[in-house]
Amino acid sequence: TILVLDHGSQYSHLILRRLRDMGIYCELLGCDVPFADIPFRPKGIILSGGPASVYDAEAPHADPAYFEQTEIPLLGICYGNQSIAWRLDPMNVIRSDHREYGSAEVKIHRVSSHVDRLLEGVGESMEVWMSHSDKLGSLPENFEIICETPSSPFAGIAHKDSHVFGLQFHPEVTNTPCGGQILKNFAVNICGCSPNWTMSNFVDQEIARVRKLVGEKSQVIGAVSGGVDSTVAAQLLKTAIGDRFHAVLIDTGLLRLEESQQVKETLQEHLGINLTVIDASKAFLDALAGITEPEQKRKVIGNLFIDFFEKEALRIEKDAENTPNAGPVRYFLQGTLYPDVIESISWKGPSATIKTHHNVGGLPARMLNGEAKLQLIEPLRELFKDEVRALGRALSIHVDDLVMRHPFPGPGIAIRIIGEVTPERVAIARKADHIFITEIKKAGIYNEMAQAYAGLDSNKAVGVMGDNRSYGYIIILRAIVTTDFMTGEPYEFDFKLLKKISTRICNEVHGVSRVTYDCTSKPPGTIELE
Ligand code: XMP
Ligand 1 pocket check for 411: Cβ under 6 Å: yes
Give pLDDT, residue 88.
94
Known catalytic residue at 172: yes
Indicate which residue's Cα is closest to atom 21 of ligand 1.
Answer: 409
Top mutation candidate among 485, 520, 522 for ligand 1, by most atoms within 8 Å of CB: 485
Strand partners, 464: 469
Q: How confident is the model at residue 241 (pLDDT cuts 50, 70, 90)?
A: very high
pLDDT in tens, 165-199: 999 999 999 889 999 999 999 999 999 999 999 88
Give pLDDT, residue 364.
62
Rounded to the nearest 10 degrees, what angle do helices 294-320 and 281-288 cross at? 150
Ligand 1 pocket check for 406: Cβ under 6 Å: no
- The three-state secondary structure class of 10 is coil
Top mutation candidate among 256, 304, 451, 527 for ligand 1, by most atoms within 8 Å of CB: 527
Quick one: average pLDDT of 241-246? 96
DSSP state of 30: E
Q: Answer whether residue 505 shows pLDDT above 90.
A: yes
Known catalytic residue at 78: yes
CA distance 526 to 516: 17
Residue 480: name the closest of 416, 421, 431 by CA. 416
Ligand 1 pocket check for 209: Cβ under 6 Å: no
CA distance 348 to 345: 7
Alpha helices in 478-519 (DSSP H): 495-508
Give pLDDT, residue 72.
98
Quick one: average pLDDT of 252-279? 95
Distance 419 CA to ligand 1 centre (A): 17
Quick one: average pLDDT of 480-485? 84
DSSP state of 230: H
Q: From the candidates 78, 147, 193, 506, which is the catalytic residue?
A: 78
Known catalytic residue at 489: no
Indicate which residue's Cα is closest to atom 22 of ligand 1.
Answer: 409
Q: Answer whether residue 425 shows pLDDT above 60.
A: yes
Distance 442 CA to ligand 1 centre (A): 26
pLDDT in tens, 56-112: 998 999 999 999 999 999 999 999 999 999 999 999 999 987 888 899 999 999 999
CA distance 213 to 207: 10
Q: What percentage of the chain carries pLDDT values higher than 90? A: 71
- The three-state secondary structure class of 78 is coil
Q: Is the peptide bond before 409 cis (omega within 30 degrees of 0)?
A: no
Contact 249, 392 (CB under 8 A): no
Q: Answer whether residue 361 shows pLDDT above 70.
A: no
Q: From the candidates 13, 114, 132, 170, which is the catalytic residue?
A: 170
- CA angle, 303 then 374 then 270, to 5°: 85
Please state the atom number of ligand 1 nearest to the C-alpha of residue 358: 15
Q: Answer whether residue 357 shows pLDDT above 50.
A: no
Residue 491: name the closest of 437, 522, 441, 448 by CA. 448
DSSP state of 407: P
Pairing of strands 2-6, 44-47: parallel
Distance 478 CA to ligand 1 centre (A): 14
Ligand 1 pocket check for 482: Cβ under 6 Å: no
Give pLDDT, residue 344.
47
Pairing of strands 468-481, 489-490: antiparallel
CA distance 428 to 413: 11
Give pLDDT, residue 372.
62
411-to-216, 371, 421, 427, 459 alpha-carbon distances in Å: 36, 24, 12, 16, 21
Q: Is the dihedral of CA 301, 303, 307, 312 positive or negative?
A: positive
Q: Which residues of 113-139 are buried (b: 16+ CB within 10 A; e: fewer)?
A: ebbeebbeebeeebebbbbbbbbbeee
Mean pLDDT of the chain: 90
Q: Answer whether residue 127 shows pLDDT above 90.
A: yes
pLDDT in tens, 368-411: 676 667 888 999 988 877 788 889 989 988 877 776 788 898 89
Q: How confident is the model at residue 49 (pLDDT cuts 50, 70, 90)?
A: very high
Residue 173, amino acid: V
Q: Answer whether residue 345 shows pLDDT above 70.
A: no
Q: What percentage of the chain carries pLDDT values higher than 70? A: 93
CA distance 112 to 282: 73
Give pLDDT, residue 482.
87
- 360 burial (CB, 10 Å; 0-12 / 13-18 / 19+) is buried
Rounded to the nearest 10 degrees, what angle do helices 423-442 and 495-508 cross at? 140
Quick one: average pLDDT of 354-358? 35
Strand partners, 329: 219
CA distance 197 to 22: 8
CA distance 268 to 272: 5
Q: From the candidates 148, 172, 382, 387, which is the catalytic residue?
A: 172
CA distance 53 to 133: 8
Q: How confident is the model at residue 431 (pLDDT cuts 50, 70, 90)?
A: very high
Indicate which residue's Cα is closest to atom 3 of ligand 1.
Answer: 526
- CA angle, 279 then 281 then 284, to 5°: 130
Cβ neighbours around 478 below 10 Å, total: 25
CA distance 425 to 455: 10
pLDDT in tens, 293-325: 999 999 999 899 989 988 998 899 888 888 777
Question: If residue 84 lies in a helix (H) or strand (E), which one and from where to where?
Answer: helix 79-88
Indicate which residue's Cα is closest to atom 11 of ligand 1.
Answer: 409
Ligand 1 pocket check for 361: Cβ under 6 Å: no
Ligand 1 pocket check for 355: Cβ under 6 Å: no
Q: Answer whether residue 27 shows pLDDT above 70.
A: yes
